[in-house]
A and B are shown apart, each in its own frame.
Chain A
Amino acid sequence: EVQLVESGGGLVQPGGSLRLSCAASGFTFSSYWMSWVRQAPGKGLEWVANIKQDGSEKYYVDSVKGRFTISRDNAKNSLYLQMNSLRAEDTAVYYCARGGAVVTSAEFDYWGQGTLVTVSS
């Protein structure tokens, strides 16, 4: 059974940092693109970043470029999101989602349950 379990969320002050983790199981993690998707309270879904199977390609939404870094450790079946210089508008539930194995236009077929990040003083 495919499972994605996020952790690392919490309350952080503006300007602070946080590192999110996503533990994957039930599939060959190293064979898939992986993404982070977030959802601000009461708002819609927003794609944040994705990373290729071997980590050689990474893409970000403009609003987090230069502040967030996506990475992965295929030996540990884990995905990460390092978030620096956090702002109030980064407050959201952050989901880890599995992308495609072959093509980059694939769907998100599995999602984690999400971890809440709250940026507030």
Chain B
Amino acid sequence: SYVLTQPPSVSVAPGKTARITCGGNNIGSKSVHWYQQKPGQAPVLVIYYDSDRPSGIPERFSGSNSGNTATLTISRVEAGDEADYYCQVWDSSSDHRGVFGGGTKLTVL
């Protein structure tokens, strides 16, 4: 089965740029979606199809995907961005199953 690997934690100072990676075998050939989850809340979509942003999501959130790594980039990080972030793909080689990365805890210092 397809595996997505994320760093457990990323720390960044306010106003700086945070980069959260999502590794997978030839992930560049797949569409990657990113979700933000704050404590006690349901996940919220922040990036879809590698780099598209849903309405209401700040332009500070961006995404890229190439080779074996997809990246969620958060510019000018704010305290309110502190949350868990998950990448997700569909594994079409395995009966079209959904796959999530293990999640990354973003801490704003």
Contacts and interface: CB of A to CB of B under 8 A. Distances in A.
- Are chains A and B native binding partners rather than an unrelated pairing? yes
B48 interface: yes
A12 B39 CA distance: 25
Given A95-B42, A95-B43, A112-B42, A105 B98 contact: no
Contacts of A11: none
Contacts of A47: 88, 97-100
B54 interface: yes
Q: Which bracket fits the contact residues of A? A: 20 to 34
Interface string B37-51: 100001111001100
B92 interface: yes
A107 B57 CA distance: 15
Interface in A49-105: 50, 57, 59-62, 95, 104-105
Contacts of B86: 44-45
B103 A105 contact: no
Q: Which bracket fits the contact residues of B? A: 20 to 34
A95 B88 CA distance: 15
A109 interface: yes
Given A109-B45, A111-B43, A61 B97 contact: yes
Contacts of A109: 45, 48, 54
Contacts of A108: 33, 35, 43, 45, 88
B14 interface: no
A35 B35 CA distance: 15
Contact of B43 (A45, A59, A105): A45
A44 B102 contact: yes
A37 B42 CA distance: 11
Interface of B: 1, 30-31, 33, 35, 37, 42-45, 48-49, 54, 84, 86, 88-90, 92, 95-103
12 contacts: A37-B43, A44-B100, A45-B88, A95-B42, A95-B43, A105-B89, A105-B90, A108-B45, A111-B42, A111-B44, A113-B42, A114-B42
Closest 8 A/B residue pairs (Cβ):
A47-B98, A107-B48, A107-B33, A44-B103, A111-B42, A45-B100, A105-B90, A105-B31
